[in-house]
Amino acid sequence: MRSSAESQALFEKAQQWIPGGVNSPVRAFRAVGGNPFFAVRASGATVWDSDDNEYIDYVGTWGPAILGHAPRVVVEAVQNAAEHGTSFGIPNPLEVRMAELVVNAVPSVEKVRMCNSGTEATMSAIRLARGFTKRNKIIKFEGCYHGHVDSLLVKAGSGALTLGQPDSAGVPPEFTSQTIVLPFNDVEAVRGAFADHGPDIAGIILEPVPANAGLYLPREGYLEFLREITAEHESLLVFDEVMTGFRLGLAGAQGRFGITPDLSCFGKVIGGGLPVGAFGGRSEIMDCLAPDGPVYQAGTLSGNPLAMAAGVAVLEALRDGAVYEKIDALAQALSDGLAKAAKAAGVAVQLQRIGSMSCCYFANAPVHNMAEAMQSDRDRFGKYFHGMLEEGVYIAPSQFEAGFVSAAHDEAAIEKTVAAAGKVMKSL
Ligand code: KE4
């Protein structure tokens, strides 16, 4: 049994001064029971807690750690940037380099604006969609999570779904009255919404690969359908690629599926672990943003030099594509190994994966939307989570999250993880 005395003591203290003892709800282990451990160090594919337990990490700080934790290129870039000042609030060369890297990597993005979180990126993107189209309604999908934006906290995924609060308190009905929520992967539902509200729909925002209710894929032709119907109605297609952007390839999910959205939101990977969000798209849309246009959006620390230094270092390390080949292959081996372990243990699982992102649903049938994800056996998942933790493997503390493989993982780590799963699954 690993010791947790230090983490327990820290959690006691944290709960006195921080709501729930955490600065983001999903970290509280509420979905899996028990108390969170406190991380004190992370390097490569490993995280150490305050009781000196070590874990192979498949959360990767919820996506940013695509190169692994504390890669030298990022640490040195941030150290060097810090020597020259930690924030200017004045345009700086690193912002230009970041914008150039994003525009060169994502064909649909002609201009990009930096901000400080994925939430800011999606909030700004839907404001921009409304300002550009002069329409009010936004379509989102059940189970998709776009950060804690008031008007999008409706049947949201991730921590909201995990905690059973897909519709948050504190959001007046007026704030969500312009939000249309539909089941994902349901063509007729979208057709019906446009039939009823077409002229007032500013856009559709979606995770092209929903990964905040576990991970499920768009059905064949679904993204193409959304592209066509939004173009037909002069609504905007907004891809929330906060998680998939620069994770599923340099051009993210839109590159994998060959879809050209009107706006894209980014975060996580482009910050290299520092607080960064971004949104971008066609110049004619982006030029509606202040100071050129009437749609206001701003941020004291947007384009912060430390965050830009970290993000630029990561994007430059990804440019030759070699990382993607490695992490996709390792993730394939992981999913194959977990599936074999489950079969040997007689445990029903659905291993769903794209690139280096995956989810192990404890379910009897494949998952294509939130309703089906909700059929998964969360109790069994909780037991699996804690069993893996005891074996030194840290996966997301919720069935409704995705897992990530980084460039710092290797075959030995995958083999250790699969062996641990083989042992744990036999006990479920
Ligand atoms: P942030 O505001 O947390 O930087 O990004 C919000 C967001 C937007 N869009 C997508 C597709 C996202 O996945 C997220 C945030 N992801 C969650 C994990 N699934 C963050 C973890 C947390 O809330 O602590």
CATH number at residue 369: 3.90.1150.10
CATH number at residue 80: 3.40.640.10
Q: Are 112 and 300 in contact (CB under 8 A)?
A: no
Same domain, 329 and 271: no
| Ligand 1 atom, smallest distance to 158 CA | 19
Determine the structural domain holding residue 273 and report its residue range.
72-318
State whether the beta carbon of 157 lies less than 6 angstroms from ligand 1: no
State whether the beta carbon of 119 lies less than 6 angstroms from ligand 1: yes
Ligand 1 centroid to Cα of residue 232, in Å, is 30
Residue where a domain stops, chosen among 264, 289, 318:
318
Number of domains the chain contains: 2
Residue where a domain stops, chosen among 285, 318, 351:
318
| Ligand 1 atom, smallest distance to 26 CA | 24
Please provide residue 103's backbone torsions phi and psi, each rounded to the nearest 5 degrees: -65, -40
pLDDT, position 263 = 99
Instruction: State which H helix or E strand residue 103 sits in.
Output: helix 93-105
The residue assigned the tokens 């008031």 is 150
Please provide residue 37's backbone torsions phi and psi, each rounded to the nearest 5 degrees: -90, 165
Tell the residue nearest (CA) to atom 1 of ligand 1. Answer: 118
Same domain, 213 and 271: yes
Ligand 1 centroid to Cα of residue 23, in Å, is 13
Tell the residue nearest (CA) to atom 15 of ligand 1. Answer: 147
State whether the beta carbon of 212 lies less than 6 angstroms from ligand 1: yes
pLDDT, position 161 = 76
Tell the residue nearest (CA) to atom 13 of ligand 1. Answer: 243
Same domain, 177 and 119: yes
State whether the beta carbon of 118 lies less than 6 angstroms from ligand 1: yes
- Of 149, 205, 243, the residue with max ligand 1 atoms within 8 A of its CB, to mutate for a pocket test, comes to 243
Same domain, 204 and 258: yes
pLDDT, position 165 = 67
Q: Which residues contact 208 (CB under 8 A, 6 or more apart)?
A: 218, 223, 239, 240, 241, 244, 252, 253, 254, 257, 259
Q: Are 69 and 47 in contact (CB under 8 A)?
A: yes
Collapse the DSSP code of 113 into the 3-class scheme (helix H, G, I; strand E, B; otherwise coil) and give the result: strand
Same domain, 165 and 272: yes
State whether the beta carbon of 117 lies less than 6 angstroms from ligand 1: yes
CA dihedral 48, 273, 267, 109 (to 10 degrees): -140
Residue where a domain stops, chosen among 286, 318, 350:
318
Same domain, 379 and 303: no
Same domain, 62 and 83: no
Same domain, 79 and 178: yes
| Ligand 1 atom, smallest distance to 147 CA | 6
| Ligand 1 atom, smallest distance to 268 CA | 4
Same domain, 367 and 382: yes
Ligand 1 centroid to Cα of residue 26, in Å, is 10
Same domain, 410 and 296: no
**Active-site annotation, residues:** 145, 240, 268
- Of 18, 145, 268, 398, the residue with max ligand 1 atoms within 8 A of its CB, to mutate for a pocket test, comes to 145
Same domain, 244 and 331: no
From first to last of its 428 residues, the chain has per-residue pLDDT tens of 788 999 999 999 999 999 999 999 999 999 999 999 999 999 999 999 999 999 999 999 999 999 999 999 999 999 999 999 999 999 999 999 999 999 999 999 999 999 999 999 999 999 999 999 999 999 999 999 999 999 999 888 887 777 766 688 999 888 999 999 999 999 999 999 999 998 999 999 999 999 999 999 999 999 999 999 999 999 999 999 999 999 999 999 999 999 999 999 999 999 999 999 999 999 999 999 999 999 999 999 999 999 999 999 999 999 999 999 999 999 999 999 999 999 999 999 999 999 999 999 999 999 999 999 999 999 999 999 999 999 999 999 999 999 999 999 999 999 999 999 999 999 99
| Ligand 1 atom, smallest distance to 265 CA | 9
Same domain, 245 and 360: no
State whether the beta carbon of 244 lies less than 6 angstroms from ligand 1: no
